[in-house]
Amino acid sequence: MKVKICGIMSEEAALSASDSGADFLGFVFAESKRKVSPEKAASIIQQLPEHVKTVGVFVNESYENIVRIAETANLDIIQLHGDETQDFCKRLPYPVIKAFSIKEQDNLNELANYDCDYFLVDSPGEKYRGGSGIPFDWSLLENLKIPRDKIILAGGLDLENVKKAISVVRPAVVDVSSGVETNGIKDVKKIQEFLAAAKLEEREHIGSIHITKY
């Protein structure tokens, strides 16, 4: 199970996450309490190991600004949380994660209109785009026609529910931000515990398959 820690704002959080097994780190460049400058992101990213992929989060940003910020920060992947079209996604010279807020089954129909590297399914935002930190109804994903290996599950994940989320949804990636924070700041201990739980659930699932098979 791959894990994305989003809303990275400090070197300490980034290095702790990468050392503990994070596969993706997200940096927010849209309006948010976790917004960072491209220069700050760049200073953090240059310290990361190559295997950790860096993701820039944007909301209805211009093509030119996305490319400029991605080059400045040295991003690997672009994550779009706004009303970006399929054509806009295809134009970007980077792998794309397109985020969708899931309120009801009808929201899932939009996914079929896009051809992206990953689809991030999240709970609807409140003040800002990008989620409310509250889980949505995972049963809405039962009949999802998009391959599971392209699904990133977000929305209210934390140490207490991540194993159940993985078991129910079987996404390719789980994405957490507020669930590993204390008083709005990334908590190194919570990051480590979340990563351990997510990786353990994957190992236990693989083990159960082998036992069943033989």
Instruction: Give pLDDT tens digits for 67-95.
Output: 999 999 999 999 999 999 999 999 999 99
Mean per-residue pLDDT, 150-166:
95
Give the pLDDT confidence score for residue 202 in this predicted structure. 59
Mean per-residue pLDDT, 114-133:
75
Mean per-residue pLDDT, 166-171:
94
State how far the alpha carbon of 57 is from the alpha carbons of 6, 160, 163, 201, 205, in Å.
9, 26, 25, 27, 31
Q: How far apart are CA 32 and CA 45, in angstroms?
A: 20
Give the pLDDT confidence score for residue 143 in this predicted structure. 80
Question: Annotated catalytic residue: which of 23, 89, 116, 122?
Answer: 122
Mean pLDDT taken over the chain: 89
83 is catalytic: no
CATH superfamily of 2-213: Aldolase class I (3.20.20.70)
Q: How far apart are CA 63 and CA 96, in angstroms?
A: 13
122 is catalytic: yes
Domain ranges of the chain: 2-213
Instruction: Count CB-CB contacts under 10 A for residue 50.
Output: 6
Mean per-residue pLDDT, 166-173:
94
pLDDT at position 213 over 70:
no
Q: How far apart are CA 134 and CA 148, in angstroms?
A: 22
Give the pLDDT confidence score for residue 146 in this predicted structure. 83
Question: Annotated catalytic residue: which of 6, 89, 158, 175?
Answer: 6
Comparing C-alpha atoms, which of 121, 207, 212, 132 is closest to residue 177?
Answer: 132
Give the pLDDT confidence score for residue 128 in this predicted structure. 54
Instruction: Give pLDDT tens digits for 16-68.
Output: 999 999 999 999 999 999 999 999 999 999 999 999 999 999 999 999 999 99
DSSP character at residue 142: T
Residue whose token pair is 């236990």: 204
* pTM beyond 0.85: yes
| Helices and strands (H and E) in the chain: how many | 6, 10
The token duo for 194 is: 């979340």
The token duo for 169 is: 């949804």
DSSP character at residue 208: H
Q: In sequence order, what are the beta bridge partners of 24?
A: 4, 53
pLDDT at position 208 over 60:
no
Please count the residues of the chain: 214
State how far the alpha carbon of 182 is from the alpha carbons of 177, 179, 191, in Å.
11, 8, 11
